[in-house]
Structure 1
Amino acid sequence: MSDRPIRVLVVDDVEDDAYLLQAELGQRGVSIEYHRVDSEIDMAAELASDAWDLVISDHNMPGFDALAALEVLKRSGRDIPFIIHSAHISHQLAVSAMYDGVHDFIPKGQYERMVPVIERELRGAQARRAVRQADDRIQQLSYYDKLSALPNQNLFCDKVTEWLNTSQRQGRTARGALFVIDIDRFLRVNASFGYEAGNAVLKEVSQRLTEVLQSDVLLARLGGDEFGVFVPGIGERQSAEVFARWISKVFDSPFMKDGIELFLTPSTGVALIPTDGTQVYELLMSAETASAHAKKRGGNGFLFYDRTMNAASTERVALESDLRHAVERSELFLEFQPVIDAQSGTIVSAEALVRWNHPRLGRVPPDRFITLADETGLIVDIGAWVLNEACRCCRGWHVAGFSDMKVSVNVSAVQFGQPRLLEAVRDALSHSNLPPKALMLEITESSLMQDAESTAGMLRALRNMGVRISVDDFGTGYSSLSYLKRFPLDVIKIDKSFVRDLCVDEEDAAIVRAIIALAHSMRRSTIAEGVETAEQVELLKRENCEFFQGYYFGRPMNIERILERLEAQKVQA
């Protein structure tokens, strides 16, 4: 128990009995502060006005008893232990009262029994409070956006669905409007001033919208720089247009950052009920489609959803919704493309490639869903899954006896810009028990150059963990190669666009030779991508390219097939 006195609301008609209770408990090491009440009105008033740790009640009082006091406590909604302390209550009635909610019964005068009961009930109350606080925290995390404190998409959808269902039960036609607000070119704020500045702007946008919207309007942060607004009762397009213009005025005043005025504009999409949908996700897709079209037109405006809008937009939103659940539904899987040692001709590594088996569409092409994942930020969670799965598979090869095998994983520009990448890599290695040197992260040349200073720091941190780094698509992004000196890289992957015509295009051959020579001069290894012919292999060998990857050696395959190839290599050796 805490050092402070226990605050006890004593329900008793005799002040001497209350004072005796305090004195007897004090002699036994239990310090209490009490206030005595003996009527329903007084007890209700005390419960409403003050915080109590415990209620100890006599049973027989003029016009009031313990059972009536228990009902007063229940009506208050307070979770406070209730103990009957009386000489005038039958054992049968006491047991019945405990079934009704009384926590314990102590015959009057038995103070030695009272002490452990008080201690037990206070511990129980504390445990229940901890559970409630945890539940409240879970509720907060599940339904509210941490940055803005606004409802998140989950709560937004639940509330709109509840409103739609209520309208249906009441037999009335639901009318309303759902707005999706997307801030134009918001990424420039993050890129120019950093994520903290971007978060500050998002919080101010949230505050401005909250101030101008009425209480019956539901506002939520749907994610990133996207906000949702639901306005019940709007039945006409003209009224919705007035509301959309009102939303736009929120952005009229500049946002300040270190004395610099930042002018932001919204692209707002509007979906009307029931014209554009009668289910919340249908309405969201419609409004997001309209918002995307407003952005394509240059932003700083609003558009109503029109069914003639690009059908692909609707499909894209649906695909995004499905992609959000692909990991948890085990729809994603990995295939591996082998990397061959030029000298031995054996598999020494494999590149992990994520695939999506959609329950309705079948296998979705990677260029279709990876781009979508990048644009929506889902690539961060998907990338973490790929890291974990790839490390787990590589560890499986090690356990099978191929301890020299390595695995490489692509890291997108979005992932690379997230501080969480270090944690994701560390967790993947730890959970799989894979040695760090067995993991190589592949980062595109263009991603490396988005922020050279931050890039160098991230690469150093990864290298300090023991992870190897390769630059992918080399030669396609920047003509200046000086950054190779600054970045701690292990491998340079020669882009397949140069390898494809290597044997027939002298310019491509010259580029490949130059890349290999440059890499060797800086003690970097090279991997040639897209190798498809024996002629390409021979030419690359003459130029001392160390590793090959391409259809000539194998298309992407599942983990079992890689293991079969490794076993076959072992037999041949």
Structure 2
Amino acid sequence: MGRMRAEAALHGEAPIRVLIVDDSEDDAYLLRTELARRGLVVDCRRVDSALDMAAALAGQDWDLILSDHDMPGFDALAALDVLKRSGQDIPFIIHSGQIADRDAVSAMYDGVDDYICKGDYERLVPVIEREMRGLRARRAVRHADTRIQQLAYFDGLSALPNHHLFCNKVGDAIREHRERGRVPAGAVLVVDLDRFLRINASFGYEAGNDLLRQVGQRLRAGLGPEVVLARLGGDEFGVFLPGVNDRGSVEMLARWIVKSFDEPLLKDRVELFLTASVGIAMIPSDGEAVLDLLMNAETALGQVKRAGGNDLRFYERTMNAASAERLAMEADLRHAVERGELLIEYQPVISARHLRPVGAEALVRWLHPRLGRLPPDRFIPLADETGLIAELGAWVLCEAARQARAWLDAGHERVRVSVNVSAVQFSQPRLLEVVADALRRSALPPACLVLEITETSLMADVESAAGMLRALKNMGVQVAVDDFGTGYSSLSYLKRLPIDIIKIDKSFVRELCENDDDAAIVRAIIALAGSLRLATIAEGVESAGQAEVLRLAGCDFLQGFHFSRPTPAAQLVL
């Protein structure tokens, strides 16, 4: 409520809350009167000691602090120290006639925002307006920062932790046990709603979403505070019970989850009955890596589903059919390049101003001899884990560079090709050699190659990332931050990294025309990029309305199904 009121004050809808630090009640009254006479509506409170000021900062929200300098036992620098200890971002202005210019300049180096002589209201008013504009901009960035963190770590539908945060919490708990010299213990449960698609088919997606929210609330209300509950995606929920090694206790919890669905869920006063299946993986017997635990719990869950659902099952090592299939896929992937089973499709990148293609993103596909056409999310993680990504990534880079050279030779002078670089590739010094080799073989000008690197990869080790990016920039290639806003919670690192382009993640674009918060986030990202002289690409554009909102917001480039699905190079129109 306090932040909403402060934002309203910044827009002139409410008084500016001013904390006056002054030992004279008459001076404070005169200040309030003179500001009001000049059109500033203020709500003031006067304090004259460190104790009273600290209490005022703790008890209310303030937009501005105006401090006298020379007071009995208290001065402006002591007041500034009280503000710093509070940790709050509030403009601090010295309004005094008892401070030398030299001391005032020194105070501004220490953090004071400005110094105005008492009575000089003609100068004070524009300074207040300037500081309020700056405060509004900083709060807008913080709001965007918070929103990005929510999108990165929390599920927008249920408000529960998402898959990423769930994995972090499980991994942190396991590491903490190891660091204390203890054997990790706990259980990971995957809860899946049985035949949930029939709800969407019968009542619509909005009804389904409402029921998912109810399920999340019911589970959260019945689980203890030490239990981590997350929505992993779709109709799947994750439960982490830390510290337990007793299968009986875990089974009791899992049976409560199954039993909790005996009570109906309500939709428009209609009772709807659901059942749930639960797969369980124990720590450490079923693994100590988060993804292994989830995979094993999913394997056990599959056994429950095949048996009809509405039950629970612990993982057993005999449930390894999926693992065998995965090993077979790894073996096939090792020969995919030499057998010519990989192909690249290109999705055009469109100039928002001219609505013409200016380049394309290269997207690899695998024509598996047995499983058919596979998208990258089916085999790139496997390639990363097994080390095959080095060969696969080098092939994609060379093919994309060769194709871009062909487009240049055909007369498309300004075309650029974008290639995704996985986290594993980016962490390997050999990437520089691979990029240089692709440019040399294709004779492609380096400026025509854009390397897309996920935000998570960059932030895993900022200093190392900065060094790799500088080396790539020295080669002349361009660098784009892919999936911006989903992998890290702070925008401040952008200015430390030598990048050229920000790709706004499709999760922000999806509801751009319906969700004011997402629209505000997108505008904030575009404005931030502009201030850092970075270009912006919005991915996942699927409608003319989204494209128009992005164009008006100043986005430079657009990409998505609205313009073209990924297509073979021969069919791409540039």
Q: In the alignment, is the contact (CA less than 8 A) between 1:270 and 1:304 conserved in 2?
A: yes
Partner of 1:295: 305
Shift of 1:333: 2.8
Shift of 1:434: 11
Return the match for 1:50 from 46, 55, 60: 60
Amino acid at match of 2:222: V
Shift of 1:259: 5.4
Q: How many residues align?
A: 375
Q: 1:368 to 1:273 in 2, by over 3 A?
A: farther
1:333 matches 2:344 = yes
Return the match for 1:156 from 159, 166, 173: 166
1:279-294 alignment to 2 at 5 Å? 279-294=289-304
Partner of 2:202: 192
Amino acid at match of 2:277: S
Structure 2 Cα separation of the partners of residues 250 and 65 of structure 1: 62
| 3-state secondary structure, aligned to 2:72 | coil
Return the match for 1:71 from 60, 75, 81: 81
Partner of 1:108: 118
Structure 2 Cα separation of the partners of residues 317 and 136 of structure 1: 41
Structure 2 Cα separation of the partners of residues 26 and 419 of structure 1: 42
Partner of 2:365: 356
Partner of 1:224: 234
Instruction: Name the Cα RMSD after superposition.
Output: 4.0
Q: In the alignment, is the contact (CA less than 8 A) between 1:355 and 1:366 conserved in 2?
A: no
Amino acid at match of 1:6: I
Structure 1 Cα separation of the partners of residues 302 and 371 of structure 2: 22
1:242 matches 2:252 = yes
Deviations 1:446-477 (A, max 9, x none): xxxxxxxxxxxxxxxxxxxxxxxxxxxxxxxx
| 3-state secondary structure, aligned to 1:220 | strand
Shift of 1:230: 0.8
Amino acid at match of 1:62: P
Deviations 1:178-234 (A, max 9, x none): 110011111111122221221121111111101101111111100000000111111
Between the two structures, name the one with larger relative contact order (CA 8 Å, sep ≥ 6).
Answer: 2
1:482-561 alignment to 2 at 5 Å? 559-560=569-570
Deviations 1:264-303 (A, max 9, x none): 2111111111111212112111111111111112111111
Amino acid at match of 1:367: G
Structure 2 Cα separation of the partners of residues 116 and 242 of structure 1: 66
Partner of 1:518: none
Shift of 1:310: 2.4
Structure 2 Cα separation of the partners of residues 105 and 317 of structure 1: 70
Structure 2 Cα separation of the partners of residues 14 and 25 of structure 1: 17
Structure 1 Cα separation of the partners of residues 565 and 42 of structure 2: 65
Q: 1:188 to 1:314 in 2, by over 3 A?
A: farther
Shift of 1:108: 2.6
Return the match for 1:26 from 32, 36, 40: 36
Shift of 1:101: 2.1
1:86 matches 2:91 = no
Partner of 2:506: none
Q: In the alignment, is the contact (CA less than 8 A) between 1:285 and 1:318 conserved in 2?
A: no
Q: 1:55 to 1:312 in 2, by over 3 A?
A: same
Structure 1 Cα separation of the partners of residues 282 and 560 of structure 2: 53
Partner of 1:517: none
Structure 2 Cα separation of the partners of residues 8 and 193 of structure 1: 53
Q: In the alignment, is the contact (CA less than 8 A) between 1:180 and 1:287 conserved in 2?
A: yes
1:268 matches 2:278 = yes
Amino acid at match of 1:219: L
Amino acid at match of 1:42: D
Structure 1 Cα separation of the partners of residues 543 and 236 of structure 2: 29
Amino acid at match of 1:205: V
Return the TM-score normalized by structure 1: 0.58
Q: In the alignment, is the contact (CA less than 8 A) between 1:177 and 1:271 conserved in 2?
A: yes
| 3-state secondary structure, aligned to 2:285 | coil
Partner of 2:21: 11
Deviations 1:477-528 (A, max 9, x none): xxxxxxxxxxxxxxxxxxxxxxxxxxxxxxxxxxxxxxxxxxxxxxxxxxxx
Runs of 4+ in structure 1 off by over 6 angstroms are: 317-320, 370-373, 425-436
Partner of 1:133: 143
| 3-state secondary structure, aligned to 1:216 | coil
Q: 1:111 to 1:199 in 2, by over 3 A?
A: same
Q: In the alignment, is the contact (CA less than 8 A) between 1:164 and 1:278 conserved in 2?
A: yes
Amino acid at match of 1:216: E
Structure 2 Cα separation of the partners of residues 152 and 81 of structure 1: 36
Q: 1:16 to 1:165 in 2, by over 3 A?
A: same
| 3-state secondary structure, aligned to 1:84 | strand
Q: 1:32 to 1:189 in 2, by over 3 A?
A: closer
| 3-state secondary structure, aligned to 2:93 | strand
Q: 1:284 to 1:28 in 2, by over 3 A?
A: same
Q: In the alignment, is the contact (CA less than 8 A) between 1:12 and 1:58 conserved in 2?
A: yes
Structure 2 Cα separation of the partners of residues 176 and 138 of structure 1: 31
Partner of 1:117: 127
Shift of 1:49: 2.0
Amino acid at match of 2:113: H
1:304-383 alignment to 2 at 5 Å? 304-313=314-323, 333-334=344-345, 356-357=365-366, 366-367=371-372, 369=374
| 3-state secondary structure, aligned to 2:183 | coil
1:370-409 alignment to 2 at 5 Å? none
| 3-state secondary structure, aligned to 1:271 | strand
Percent identity between matched residues is 56
| 3-state secondary structure, aligned to 1:250 | helix
Q: In the alignment, is the contact (CA less than 8 A) between 1:54 and 1:82 conserved in 2?
A: yes
Structure 1 Cα separation of the partners of residues 182 and 230 of structure 2: 26
| 3-state secondary structure, aligned to 2:107 | helix
| 3-state secondary structure, aligned to 2:70 | coil
Q: In the alignment, is the contact (CA less than 8 A) between 1:356 and 1:364 conserved in 2?
A: no
Partner of 2:439: none
Q: In the alignment, is the contact (CA less than 8 A) between 2:229 and 2:238 conserved in 1?
A: yes
| 3-state secondary structure, aligned to 2:71 | coil
Partner of 2:214: 204
| 3-state secondary structure, aligned to 2:80 | helix
| 3-state secondary structure, aligned to 2:19 | strand
1:60 matches 2:76 = no
Q: In the alignment, is the contact (CA less than 8 A) between 2:263 and 2:273 conserved in 1?
A: yes
Whichever of the two has the greater Rg, that structure is 1
Q: 1:315 to 1:174 in 2, by over 3 A?
A: farther
Structure 1 Cα separation of the partners of residues 560 and 221 of structure 2: 51
Q: 1:53 to 1:231 in 2, by over 3 A?
A: same
Q: In the alignment, is the contact (CA less than 8 A) between 2:36 and 2:42 conserved in 1?
A: yes
